[in-house]
Amino acid sequence: MRLICWNTATVQGEQPEIVCGQSGATIRPVYLLQPHGQAPIVEQWYKGYGVFGGVDAYEWLAQKNIPAETLANMSTEEIRSAGISIEDNTELYQDTNGQWYTNKWSWFAEDSFPSHRNRKIHVFDNYDDIICEEMDYNAAIEQGMLTLVPQNAILAEIGVKDFYPLKFSFDPEAQYDSLSPSERVPNYEEV
């Protein structure tokens, strides 16, 4: 079974630990840290499904980073999908004709993303797909036909001023602002 795992947030030079719900692991509380002095969300026994103290980490990520007026028009599933897209740092590219492209499904390609409602975003399956002017993805980037639009610029379009990434710690006294973001451990499987 595939589990959702992250490295703990650390200060520079510190070795992160893996936050995961694997069987046989030492059971100890893990904390989803929050900005602005808010109390951390404690999970006594993380099972590996992205939920900490009853709070879905991806929903938390979306709720901390997307304006309330945008969230109000979204379902719980859309909010969670938005959080996943934010954490994945989904890449969006724009061609010289104003067309948009991405290499994977993203919340940013959905109608729920207000500033993209009138934009067609082409999702391609692999880097060999012909995407513009008879070029594949890699050739279009090399020829300057596609320009990467950084995620922070896309988030700024919907009013995100400060970005709050996920941060986890086993230390109940850890402070959100003093630690680096937690990074997801890709393809972690329970044995």
Sign of CA dihedral 56, 61, 63, 64: positive
The neighbour count for residue 37, using CB atoms within 10 Å, is 8
Type of residue found at 29: P
Asked, for residue 29, whether it belongs to a domain, the answer is yes
Helix crossing, 57-65 with 76-88: angle to 10°?
80
Asked, for residue 190, whether it belongs to a domain, the answer is no
Are 56 and 109 contained in the same domain? no
Range of the structural domain that residue 39 is part of: 5-65+162-185
Predicted pLDDT of residue 136: 77
Q: Tell me how far apart the alpha carbons of residues 52 and 158 are, in angstroms, rounded to a whole number.
A: 27
Are 94 and 115 contained in the same domain? yes
Q: Tell me how far apart the alpha carbons of residues 177 and 35 are, in angstroms, rounded to a whole number.
A: 7
Asked, for residue 78, whether it belongs to a domain, the answer is no
Asked, for residue 74, whether it belongs to a domain, the answer is no
188 versus 139: which is more confidently predicted?
139
Q: Tell me how far apart the alpha carbons of residues 182 and 174 are, in angstroms, rounded to a whole number.
A: 13
- Would you state the structure tokens that stand for residue 76, as one six-digit string? 């719980």
Domain count, the chain: 2
Asked, for residue 72, whether it belongs to a domain, the answer is no
pLDDT of 103-156, one tens digit each?
Answer: 665 555 554 455 555 566 667 666 666 666 677 777 888 888 888 887 777 777
Share of the chain above pLDDT 70, in %: 76
At residue 37 the predicted structure's pLDDT band, cuts being 50, 70 and 90, is: very high
Are 130 and 166 contained in the same domain? no
Asked, for residue 127, whether it belongs to a domain, the answer is yes
Bin 8: left if φ > 0, else alpha if -120 < ψ < 50, else beta: beta
Contact 102, 121 (CB under 8 A): yes
